[in-house]
Amino acid sequence: MNVTHLECAACGLKHEARRLHNLCSQCGKPLLVRYDLKSAAASLTKESLRQRAPDLWRYREVLPVEQDENIVTLGEGFTPLLRASRLGAKMGLNRLYIKDEGQNPTQSFKARGMAAAVSMAKELGVEKLAVPSAGNAAGALAAYAARAGMEAHIFMPSDTPRANVIECEQTGAHVTLMEGLITDCGAEVGRRKEAEGWFDVSTLKEPYRIEGKKTMGYELAEQFDWDLPDVILYPTGGGTGLIGMWKAFDEMEQMGWIGSKRPRMITVQAAGCAPIVRAFEKGERFADEFPDAHTTASGLRVPKAIGDFLIIDALRASGGTAIAVTDEELIAATKEIGAAEGVFCAPEGAACLPALKRLLEDGSVQQDERVVLFNTGSGVKYIESFSS
Ligand SMILES: Cc1ncc(COP(=O)(O)O)c(C=O)c1O
Ligand SMILES: [Zn+2]
């Protein structure tokens, strides 16, 4: 299709497409997929999209899979952009929206990334996949690997929500629960992958998950009729979705679909694990590992993100910021959003609401601005987080 090469996001070194890669061979940072966007834009047009299926493969020309038969799909993407009038009115906002990623297969936005990663793994002849996960990436990998007839080897902290563990087992994955955090799980995958013949699909250590996630940016543009919103609040762990959307905006500009104006990108983290917030506030580009990371929003319990500099670059370039909210606030917000709008959010998604309140209080969001809260998953997976 239109992939020209992979490029290191830090040192710019080019890597050959159509080969298995993890990180940059020179500096160990993430690789990004580059396309011949002129060629992509010849058949992928705003008009052509009207005829296409409502899933993320509608943006086929800017996705990395070459052969259609390698696409592994469960119907991911094209989730609704819900107008949240009732919640907006409570806060004095006229144009508030929720992008409801909980409606994806496996009930989270992780389905997008894993659909792309597993499809590419199939195309490149991989048979065994491994991942460290906070929970939702595991559930998504397990499902897509099963769909592709591949093995999935999953490593999660032992206190991962039960639903994530059960869904992996019931979709045939090999599950290992470990004492410690996602970083410890990642180290275990790193130690064993060579001997076991596993391909490591950790966030940003594999170049294609971000390609699946970037479709959230394409969808937002399409759903807002090619006029991007003013503010995007995004619950950030590894940051793939935020980095992916930022990449999508650039690709769309290069294809002539949008102008140079960008939404203000807001990273939302939990106070118990806020490495990006801390680095952003200190004016740094790389984030130190966050000590004693803890939060009930398990997807946000990522003490060290390999794409930290890409997240922070996007926040700064967009005029955005990074905000930490407490577990108490994000759990209360789940009910507030649910009761006002009927969307039972994952606690990670709900965390966007207290962050938005903070921005309204300090006057950095205005009442007529178009604001999008990213609900990255479904609350149904987090029964332990809620007491009735
Ligand atoms: C529901 C949910 N929201 C947000 C995140 C963080 O996602 P990202 O790694 O793209 O920052 C995760 C990651 O596990 C998640 O499961
Ligand atoms: Zn490099």
Best residue among 136, 232, 267 to mutate for probing ligand 1's pocket (most ligand atoms within 8 Å of CB) is 136
Bridge partners for 155 per DSSP: 132, 176
Confidence of residue 231 (pLDDT cuts 50, 70, 90): very high
Identify the H or E element spanning 329.
Answer: helix 327-341
Q: Is the CB of 377 under 6 A from ligand 1?
A: yes
Pairing of strands 370-375, 95-100: parallel
**Ligand 1: distance of its center to the CA of 356 in Å?**
18
Distance of CA 70 to the CA centre of its chain: 22
pLDDT digits (tens, 9 = 90+) for 343-375: 999 999 999 999 999 999 999 999 999 999 999
pLDDT digits (tens, 9 = 90+) for 158-197: 999 999 999 999 999 999 999 999 999 999 999 999 999 9
Q: Is the pLDDT at 388 greater than 80, yes or no? A: no
How is residue 361 written in tokens?
Answer: 């209080």
Q: Which ligand 1 atom lies nearest to the CA of residue 113?
A: 10
**Ligand 1: distance of its center to the CA of 41 in Å?**
30
**Ligand 2: distance of its center to the CA of 25 in Å?**
7
- pLDDT at position 387 is 78
Q: Is the CB of 244 under 6 A from ligand 1?
A: no
**Ligand 1: distance of its center to the CA of 110 in Å?**
7
Q: Which ligand 1 atom lies nearest to the CA of residue 110?
A: 16
**Ligand 1: distance of its center to the CA of 236 in Å?**
6
Which among 166, 169, 112, 176 is positioned nearest to 144, based on CA atoms? 112
Question: What is the spatial distance between Cα 236 and Cα 324, in angstroms, rounded to a whole number?
Answer: 10
Q: Is the pLDDT at 215 greater than 90, yes or no? A: yes
Confidence of residue 204 (pLDDT cuts 50, 70, 90): confident
Q: Which ligand is nearest to the CA of 6?
A: 2
Task: Give, using CA atoms, the residue closest to atom 15 of ligand 1.
Answer: 299
Q: What is the mean pLDDT of residues 275-281?
A: 98
Q: Is the CB of 296 under 6 A from ligand 1?
A: no
